[in-house]
Structure 1
């Protein structure tokens, strides 16, 4: 098992790194070159840099991930692909994507995009809270301890 993080805008990288390395599970952060850093990572953490294209990180994660791996992302499209490949996919706000909820999430995203295209204003995501952070930590710990 490996853990892949869609890391460009992931607010829980520190939790994934801490808990993943404690459990001795390799953590792979996939991020664009625009987020390049020379910072040292703990043993068991690898950073893969990709082009800044819209879905470059998603494509790399899907190329590398295998059945049973964990993917952390807020991208519904990547979540859908990960589920189809047999991966466990988690959102940073503390919920697990499933075959039961992904269609509704994708439909909502599509309808919001169509509304914006038609000139309507839609609400953005709610701010990330300390409660969301703890909810993710618990979900992540339970997931890697299975």
Structure 2
């Protein structure tokens, strides 16, 4: 299998970092006469199967290291629910008159929301008997309805 050249690898790395193919082509060290020719060459480079494969690999590595997975998200929510985290608030010190950053415990509303989020993902088992007899009360009000008197012959 043919390998990428040093410039091609650099192009791929810069493209992943910058997200701009034209700029990545220039930074990689390719000589270009104009912005238009750089854009055209960069576009052609992105269609190269080996280059595309290398970029896909770099993007996969980037996603693995920078994006939280489901376990990490649940762990964070659990830490909030258990009160293991604090919030930073800005308050005015009444004595000195200066603004200070103060650590405080997470509010109970945040803890309850965290618990609700966990329960969305891990619902409690609930037995519901759909065949159980159920009592229904129906209340009707006829105050606004006029009932005609029956006619007798």
**Interval containing the TM-score (normalised by the shorter chain):** under 0.3
Q: With structure 2 as the length reference, what TM-score do the two structures score? A: 0.21
Structure number with higher relative contact order (C-alpha < 8 Å, ≥ 6 residues apart): 1
Task: Pick the structure with more strand per residue.
Answer: 1
Name which one, 1 or 2, has greater alpha-carbon Rg.
2
Task: Pick the structure with more helix per residue.
Answer: 2
